[in-house]
Chains A and B, each alone.
Chain A
Amino acid sequence: MMLEVKNITKSFGSLEVLRGVDFSVNQGDVVAILGPSGSGKTTLLRCMNYLETADSGTMVFDGVSYDLSHTSKRDIGIIRKKTGFVFQNYNLFRNKNVLNNVTEGLIIARKIPKAEAHETAVKALEKVGLGDRLDYYPYQLSGGQQQRVAIARAIATNPEIIYFDEPTSALDPELTGEVLSVMRNLARDGMTMVVVTHEIGFAREVSNRVVFMDGGVVAEEAPSHEFFEHPKEERTRQFLRIISGN
């Protein structure tokens, strides 16, 4: 077990978004988190990388246990350096070109020598098919290309796990494909991934496990084929019916 979270709770004011979520990831897993809007998927992901501070809960990462509501700045830094995060809105650094978007975390945060960082970044960008766009600025790229840069930025740091927060939700349908295919390749290479998504087709094809969230709790968790072929919970069946359109 490489990552295990237990009993995460999180409220925004009087709104309880997470009501005791348990969740675990093995090395090489591709876990899809599905669920209706407002079910807490994104918040769960953000709590695991401390973009939100959970009200309570524990996380075991790499064999070390952390209290999610009281983790020291130092520990948060350590965890973040071992993880990657891809946002719905890409969040590229707008004042940096493609190459520097990727090298920033290497040179500044990890103190990797420039030449080495450059080489790593170019490799990562080639992997996502953007080796010929190094000196472009984010505004010169399509949404799909920006998201691929964001993925390159995440993989360049050689993380143990990458979190994807609805990586294709802000994209036009015809641009979704290029991002999903990059993610498919990552999965094939054995990258451990947790993907919050509405792309049922992608979840079915690429993920090996599905976590279905509803109302701030995990309503069902199962290996992908089982989840899609034989969903146990009525709520899951209902969701799958709606999302597949019949």
Chain B
Amino acid sequence: MDLQSLQVAQESFWRIFSAGVTKTIPLTVISFIGAMILAVSCALVQYANVWGLKQFVRFYIWIFRGTPLLVQLCTLYFGFPNLGIVIDAWTSAVIVFALNCGAYCAETMRSALESVPLGQLEAGYCVGMSWFQIMYRIVLPQAFRTAFPPLFNTLISLVKDTSLASSITVPEMMTQGMRVTGRTYEFMAIYLEVGLIYLLFSTVLTKLQTWGEKKLKTYENK
């Protein structure tokens, strides 16, 4: 790497960074919100043992945890048009990331729900509360606290996994980086730069996690 490489890196910084802000971050946030809605629903279905739905949820988790994310992206974006279903790149990416991440988070939430002692559910019944009231007010808040660190883990993974959306033409950070390298052949400088911006995002999230864990500690045992 010489001065020219650094200059290319410097000139391309805003282009890549702004793709991060306008594409990577929204993609991550929207997908993760979708994933959490899916995860909580799937976890509750399994926790409550709803026959039929539970089998469906297991099937969904099996598929999305058992196949590569890249294959899922390509199937939806490149494969579905063969069936006459055309979905644009951005939407495809959001759908796949939400479904994939949701499958992992569903398992995290399920185990967190199961870690809340059953006696509190019974105590809730005995003071006259309904299942949904107990879940919403007693069990889920405790489960979220337990699940918080592993969920954040998945979120940090997701930030980095969004780089795979470059393979289905979403113009996020990796795509921008690849375009610059295609023109300048400065692979080392540009990919290091892209990597550093991801590291920056992950670091912010790690700080956020530490802060969040502290906030959630109010009724902690230790």
Interface size on A, residues (CB 8 A): 30
B123 CB within 8 Å of chain A: yes
Q: Is the CB of A87 within 8 A of B127?
A: no
CB distance A49 to B126 under 8 Å?
yes
Q: How far does the alpha carbon of A95 sit from the alpha carbon of B117 in the complex, in Å?
A: 12
B220's nearest neighbour on chain A, judged by CB, is: A139
Partner of B127, one of A95, A138, A153: A153
Whether the Cβ atoms of A91 and B120 lie closer than 8 Å is: yes
Q: Output the least CB separation between B185 and chain A (Å).
A: 57
B127 contacts A105, CB within 8 Å? yes
Contact assessment for B133 and A109 in the assembled complex, using a CB-CB cutoff below 8 Å: yes
The answer to whether A104 and B126 touch (CB under 8 A), given A87-B119, A137-B219, A139-B220, is: no
Stretch from A78-86, A193-201, A222-230 that touches the partner: A78-86
Distance A89 CA – B127 CA, assembled complex (angstroms): 16
B128 contacts A137, C-beta separation under 8 Å: no
CB contact between A105 and one of B120, B129, B141 (< 8 Å): that residue:
B129
Q: How far is the CA of A95 from the CA of B140 in the complex (A)?
A: 10
How long is the Cα–Cα vector from A94 to B120 in the complex, in angstroms? 8
Counting CB contacts under 8 A, is A30 at the interface? no
Classify chain B's interface size: 20 to 34
A38 at the interface (CB under 8 A from B): no
Known contacts: A87-B122, A139-B221. The answer to whether A96 contacts B138 by CB under 8 A is yes
Residue A104 contacts which of B125, B129, B145, B220 (CB distance < 8 angstroms)? B129
A-B contact pairs, 25 of them (CB 8 A): A49-B126, A50-B125, A51-B125, A77-B128, A83-B126, A84-B127, A85-B122, A85-B123, A87-B123, A91-B119, A92-B123, A93-B123, A93-B124, A94-B120, A94-B142, A94-B219, A96-B138, A105-B129, A108-B137, A109-B127, A109-B128, A109-B129, A109-B130, A110-B128, A153-B123
Instruction: Name the 4 nearest CB pairs between A and B, nearest first.
Output: A105-B127, A109-B128, A91-B119, A85-B126
**Chain A residues with a Cβ under 8 A of chain B:** 49-51, 77, 80-81, 83-85, 87, 89, 91-97, 104-105, 108-110, 137-139, 150, 153-154, 157
9 more contacts with CB within 8 A, not counting A50-B125, A137-B219, are A51-B125, A77-B130, A85-B122, A89-B117, A91-B117, A93-B123, A94-B219, A96-B138, A139-B221
By a beta-carbon cutoff of 8 Å, the part of chain B in contact with chain A is 117, 119-120, 122-130, 133, 137-138, 141-142, 145, 218-221
